[in-house]
Amino acid sequence: MTGRKRLANIELLRVLAMVMVITLHFMRESGSLLDASALFGAPASQFLGTFLEAFCIVAVNAYVLISGYMGSEGNFKLSKVITFLLQIWFYALLIPLVLTCFSVPTLAKEQGIYGMVQYLLPIESDTYWFASSYFFLMLFMPLLNEAVKRLEKKQLQMILAGLLIFLCLVKSICPVALPLDKYGYDPVWFLCVYLIGAYLKKYGGGILEKRAWSVYVGSSLLLFLITVGLWYGLRYVPGAAYYFTVPFHYNFVLCLTGAIGLFYGFTKIDIREGKMAELIRRAGKYSFGIYLFHEHPDIRHTWYPFLRSILNPAGKEGMAWFLLELLFSIAVLFLAGMFIEWIRNLLFTFVIKTGRRAYAER
């Protein structure tokens, strides 16, 4: 990818994926999903929340697919891994420092050394689960890329088939939790999705590519209908409480097909070169910082009550307030995260340039 501009349509997908992630986290924090412990009298906002969740749950897989599709022919650079780690540390360390200055409680204050470890060792502590899994994926990328180059098509298909059977298909139909299954939150699933992206880059996606939008919309609608059906079914089969959560696991089969459909749908979008394309590239470049900002453990469960107290201090319920809170949260977190990431990028760029200049003058 060196020397080439990022594709504006793919960067637009990165931006959308981050909006989807914020939406998922809003549903989690606001309790706006159908609940297995409340099987009667669910408000309309929970049905809408579950509907939106079904269309947004593909975001994580789509993000990793982008890496496999666009990065499988790239060159490994250790500097990218180091920059990724420094980016995580920037948020992990700076946010509690700022909060402490404003006398806001932090994990370090409440848990002592155990809280500090989450700041100092964010990968090992799984402070940001996505960042931890993606970090290990980055280390394996050169091995995966070399394997894709050297393996024959049938060999790669057999490997992917084995991974999908054990990591995706079996868990998608099994009614009980499996000890090996991590619901798609683990590096192994990321390796699998990356390989799928690399395979699609090399050999194409067949019907998944030709019917991209239909695959995405169809997969998402099925996710919603299955979830609603299971929710109603829990009244008669309470033992299915675990399986009720399965459709929203990242390694559920429809979550994967939906992500592939969404990805291919965006590859067909034509964005002309110009100011808009450059703006989209800039937004895509800064989008990951939005996640590191609002999912910091000191902020993760506090941003929603804070924003709600601003927009809806009386705590009014109803569909209109649900939508207003959702849109307000997306706008604030997106813009705040982009601004902070822009500042971080300026600081890192300044330090790198200053260091290079000092080294050259030695």
Q: Would you state the pLDDT for residue 4? A: 65
Q: Would you state the pLDDT for residue 5? A: 77
Q: Would you state the pLDDT for residue 2? A: 40
pLDDT digits (tens, 9 = 90+) for 135-154: 999 999 999 999 999 999 99
pLDDT digits (tens, 9 = 90+) for 214-264: 999 999 999 999 999 999 999 999 999 999 999 999 999 999 999 999 999
Whether the predicted pLDDT of 294 surpasses 90: yes
Average pLDDT over residues 303-332: 96
Token look-up 């098509």 returns 153
Residue 358 belongs to a domain? no
Residue 346 belongs to a domain? yes
Residue 359 belongs to a domain? no
Whether the predicted pLDDT of 306 surpasses 60: yes
What is the rounded CA–CA span in Å between residue 181 and residue 186? Answer: 9
Q: Would you state the pLDDT for residue 1? A: 37
CA angle 125, 130, 131 (to 5 degrees): 65
Whether the predicted pLDDT of 98 surpasses 80: yes
What is the rounded CA–CA span in Å between residue 88 and residue 273? Answer: 32
Per cent of the chain over pLDDT 90 is 90
Task: Output the average pLDDT for the chain.
Answer: 94
Domain total of the chain: 1
Residue 1 belongs to a domain? no
Residue 2 belongs to a domain? no
Q: Would you state the pLDDT for residue 228? A: 96
Distances (CA, A) of 242 to 36, 146, 175, 248: 9, 39, 7, 11
Residue type at 343 in one-letter notation: I
Residue 74 belongs to a domain? yes
Q: Would you state the pLDDT for residue 9? A: 95
Q: Would you state the pLDDT for residue 40? A: 85
Residue type at 107 in one-letter notation: L
Q: Would you state the pLDDT for residue 318? A: 92
Structural domain boundaries, residue 81: 8-352
Q: Would you state the pLDDT for residue 354? A: 86
Q: Would you state the pLDDT for residue 336? A: 97
Residue 3 belongs to a domain? no
Whether the predicted pLDDT of 75 surpasses 90: no
Q: Would you state the pLDDT for residue 45? A: 94
Whether the predicted pLDDT of 355 surpasses 90: no
Residue 243 belongs to a domain? yes
Ordered alpha helix ranges (H), the chain: 8-30, 44-56, 59-71, 78-101, 107-111, 113-120, 129-150, 153-164, 170-173, 187-203, 207-210, 212-233, 253-267, 275-294, 303-311, 319-360
